[in-house]
Structure 1
Amino acid sequence: MITTMFQEGASDYHMMEGWFNTFGNLAWMMMIIGGILYFGLVVIFAYFIHKDAIIRGSKNPELWILLLIFLNIIGVLIYLVVRNNYSLSQNVEIREGQSR
């Protein structure tokens, strides 16, 4: 591959030729499927954390979405440590609101 790069008349060489052949088709498919699953999990976590932040009365639940998107699992752990706990009256109000 490198020798063809320096030969005269090797104008059809492209620098990415070796890269695509390094992994193989199955590995590329697994990388694409893994990326889609990862993105899906981030969206699901963001939805539930945003919903939980609104219920808990957070001043800016959108900030938690951004934190989760950029820090991923570390963002989830930060949220779980920093969030306020439900008080007993809030818990009763939430259950009553859901039953209606």
Structure 2
Amino acid sequence: MANLIKKGTKIIGIGRNYVDSNPTPMPKEPVLFLKPASSYLANGGTIKIPASMEHLWYEAELAVVIGKKACDYSESEALDYVAGYALGLDMTAKEFQATIKATGLPWL
């Protein structure tokens, strides 16, 4: 059955969607970001973390799998496009992120 599931083309994340100890103010609108499809990991796969990584941030996420293209649909139709749910593990190399953010450049 697992081979019947087609691998997705992109991952869209929503950032800063909860209150924590982060000193930056909460945004009024959702912050969207992309992760490459290469960041998918098959069930039972191994996460490879470089030995030089000292500040790895991780969060468990609820992933919503969208099963078909959607555009201009009503709120009542939204769940018609959901194919399922999965566990997501969002991992961020904080030392790289901080350096890149300080330059004002985009980051993933």
TM-score band, normalised by shorter chain: under 0.3
Structure with the bigger percentage of strand:
2
**RCO higher in structure (CA 8 A, sep ≥6):** 2
**Largest Rg, 1 or 2:** 1
